[in-house]
Structure 1
């Protein structure tokens, strides 16, 4: 495409759109129709230039024009509690549901990895001796030792806030770093599974695996599911960089990135619930079966939320992305 010819052919339309946007008085009906038509054409022109002959100066001007025109056409919209309710009732569970082909395999592979690491550590004394001295290992695994004291070493409210912050940070890193082909996400996952595997191995070698599971399962089921969802979404985002499908890479990344941002916001609430369980239920005096039962109920509630509400919203066409009216205008591009 000859950019100079294209600009000469359409400059008058852009100037007219800018003139309409500068009007102080209220536009007439005919002028409003003209503004809408020019906005749509200019958005198409911007997309064509970006995909065929990107020029920083021209794309900068057209981007500004399209943004101003879009604001004039659609008006300013304020978020309301209805948007929050809609997000948690439809958008978030639909986005998690759409990502299930990524986070479910991630969960299965990660869990198997943690179990294998735990078996390797628990059955090989030389591996345990490389982790710490025998006396240190006894301090960690004995009744009332470091593993058990960890959950009651701070006031419950402060501990819940700390756990929530740490887990939300780990989930956010999985989502943000996924764009780097997913490689940092794999490392974060491995670190988490290694820590879990070490706990399984050390406590099983001390004959206290049941105690460890009673400590980790009440909150860990929901907590790890949230991490797996974040990691799977991050890996999906990384794969979009490699294979954007029939869309342009920019459009595909924008769609997946917006969905990932929605998942990140939703997981904040999921991890909050997990943190509350870890702070108030895990160290409580409830019987082990009751504490684990709380974790199982929370996990089943989340899965039902995703598969019932999310599945219904997904089948209705909700992807967790912004509504069509809130997204930037795009045109089809050749592969």
Structure 2
């Protein structure tokens, strides 16, 4: 190979790549037009090949070093830049996309919440009307502790906070995923999970209320429940989305409806899992802490729930 002739033929591309990289390094990838980005990628590939050829043909240290520098700079901007764009897309999804998705699916989330509250109301009604009802829902040892010893059970978490926190988180995520996948049963299993959890909470709340322990009980529940319960409702809403695709595909073919509504259900997981991880951490380390005043726990719960409502009601820049 005639080295000088090869250099003369390829040098224009090297200078062009150097100029594009210089612009990106100073002003960012967004400063390039679409065709310039395509040119940048094409030039990077050809210069990477030139670098390999320069090494094998012993084109000289200076040329080889310059091509190595161009190749390295090109790699950093193209591949690391794409990672930055991916992270930017993630940030944008959490900033505007997720609140918009929650608003779009709010009807399904509200229906799941309604099923939960209906179960809680049934438990409250029957627990006051029939003393034999509570043992059907609440474990007997818990009833004995509250009714006979006049104590709550949260103290058992103290001392094993990391283990309790991880166990709580895993259990809640399992319940949520069961509620989501329950949509494949035309929503029957999703409705069962929401209703049964409502029954459980309603029965326990009635038990502690009957024994004048409601204030400390809700002080324990509020901090983590402000995120945990909405996350469960989101999961129920996701399951009902899938059920909608199966039962009422509308203008779509059923398979297309499953893809459309299923994608929305999957996206809700990006809200559910972080919320449950935070809630599990709070429930393990903060909620049962006897050194934290109950009023502070109520305040933390109210603040977290308020922030969640504000986040979910954010207006997207794409909406009026």
TM range (shorter): 0.5 to 0.7
Q: How far apart are residue 150 of structure 1 and its match? A: 4.2
Corresponding position: 1:231 with 2:231: no
Q: Show CA shifts across 1:233-256 (max 9, x none).
A: 211220121111222222221011
Q: Please name the residue that 1:183 is paired with.
A: 188
TM-score (norm 2): 0.66
Structure 2 alignment gaps of length 5 or more: 1-81
Q: Of the two, which has the highest radius of gyration?
A: 2
Does residue 91 of structure 1 match 2:112? no
CA distance in 2, matches of 1:236, 1:134: 37
Cα distance change of structure 1 residues 282 and 229 upon mapping to structure 2, 3 Å threshold:
same
Instruction: Tell me, yes or no, if the aligned pair for 1:151 and 1:282 is still in contact at 8 Å.
Output: no
Deviation at 1:133, TM superposition (A): 9.6
- CA RMSD of superposed structures (Å): 2.6
> Paired residue for 1:282?
287
Q: Deviations over 1:297-332 (max 9, x none)?
A: 111111211111xx426627xxxxxxxxxxxxxxxx
1:120-139 aligned within 5 A: 120-128=126-134, 137-139=143-145
User: In the aligned structure 2, how far is the partner of 1:132 from the partner of 1:100?
Assistant: 31
**Residue of structure 2 equivalent to 1:242:** 247
Runs of 5+ in structure 1 lacking a partner? 1-76, 317-335
Question: Is 1:295 aligned to 2:301, yes or no?
Answer: yes
CA deviations on 1:42-79 (whole Å, 9 max, x unpaired) are xxxxxxxxxxxxxxxxxxxxxxxxxxxxxxxxxxx878
Which has the higher relative contact order, 1 or 2, with Cα contacts under 8 A spaced 6 or more apart? 1
Task: For residue 93 of structure 1, report the CA deviation from its aligned partner.
Answer: 2.2
User: Which residue does the alignment assign to 1:251?
Assistant: 256
Q: Is residue 118–residue 197 contact of structure 1 (8 Å, CA) maintained in 2?
A: yes
Q: Which runs of 4+ in 1 moved over 3 A?
A: 128-136, 140-146
Name the CA distance, whole Å, in 1 between partners of 2:162 and 2:95: 28
Alpha-carbon contact 1:218-1:295 (below 8 Å) kept = yes
Q: Partners in 2 of 1:196 and 1:224 — Cα distance?
A: 10
Contact 2:119 2:196 in 1 (8 A): no
Cα deviation for residue 200 of structure 1 reads: 1.2
Alignment of 1:44-59 (within 5 A): none
1:193 aligns with 2:198: yes
Q: Aligned partners of 1:129 and 1:87: how far apart in 2? A: 45
CA distance in structure 2 between the partners assigned to 1:146 and 1:291 by the alignment: 16
Q: 1:278 & 1:94 partners in 2: Cα distance?
A: 28
Answer yes or no: is the 8 Å Cα contact 2:231–2:276 preserved in 1. yes
Q: How many residues align?
A: 237
Give the conservation status (yes or no) of the 8 Å contact 2:179–2:189: yes
Q: Secondary structure at the match of 2:133?
A: helix
Deviations 1:263-320 (A, max 9, x none): 1132111111111221222112222121011111111111211111xx426627xxxx
